[in-house]
Amino acid sequence: MQDLNIGGRLLTMNEPVVMGILNVTSDSFYDGGKYNTIELALKHCERMLSEGAEIIDVGGFSSSPRSKLITAEEELERIEPVVRAIFNTFPETFLSIDTYSSKVVEVLSQYGSFIVNDISGFEYDEQLVPTIAEKGFPYVLMHMKGKPENMLEHAKYDDVCFEVLDYLAQKLYDLRQAGIRQIIVDPGFGFAKTRSQNFEMLRKLEVFSIFELPVMVGLSRKSMIYKTLNIEPLAALNGTTALHMVALLNGARILRVHDIAEAVQTIKLYKAFNNSVNE
């Protein structure tokens, strides 16, 4: 498995790691408004790092169903002060920026190197790929159809896993043609998929390892969990943990999560299980 070079520092991918979610927006489905000041964001970042997060993923917009996209200027207004503060306060942190905007990448690059976590598959901004190639940043390629505000209308597939694989393969070709080699793939749980399609992808997640790239999953407290269990997102931690173990057993290398300590424990149990099988 290819390690990631982020600003001259290596993030090893031979074992699973945790990416902690830091939303600095008021309308996120689970934690909107909780960390929208620099002080609160830094405290939460410190807590996630102390609990074992390897990567901090900073986002300034909601991508929940029916959410509308925001401008680069709005996004920067929300996240630039926080990103600058994180780089100054925790300079050894591996940072990820949840953005689809080349302008956001360009502006934030003055503070340091980071992973670009793009929900759009570079569909929303034609300058995103050239900008990432120029910077040499790692890139998260995620599958999605449409935009958050209408993606539920696009959840139509003859074979969801085959079509997501085909989409990723075509996009990977484009990225490599542009000179981008450091790539993480994300099948896009909850993005233009029904609940049953999400579970089918999770059951067959191992097929996404065919690219020999790190596979990231974003399952944390999503509707496939809380709607199946008929509970609220606040009560979905146990279900999240259960599905994280399934994902790890099927090849996931990065867990993108709200709850760090529980995800770290899940990885420890997975490694103990995996080592016992290999003894």
Catalytic positions are 222, 256
Exposure string for 238-267, b = 16+ CB within 10 A, e = fewer:
ebbbebbeebbebbbbbbbbbbbebbbebb
Coil, strand or helix at 173: helix
Q: What angle do CA 99, 219, 95 make, to 5 degrees?
A: 40
For strand 9-11 and strand 4-6, is the pairing parallel, antiparallel, or unpaired? antiparallel
Coil, strand or helix at 150: coil
- Residue 31 carries which DSSP code? T
Q: How far apart are CA 179 and CA 28, in angstroms?
A: 33
Instruction: At 34, list the tokens.
Output: 């909780």
Helix or strand holding residue 94 (H, E): strand 94-98
Task: Specify the residue for token string 């690219």.
Answer: 211
Task: Using the Cα atoms of residue 44, residue 27, residue 18 and residue 87 in order, give the sign of their dihedral.
Answer: negative
Instruction: At 85, list the tokens.
Output: 């503060």
Give residue 53's Cα distance to chain centre.
13
Q: Treating both helix axes as pointing N-terminal to C-terminal, what angle do 38-51 and 260-278 enclose, rounded to 10 degrees?
A: 20
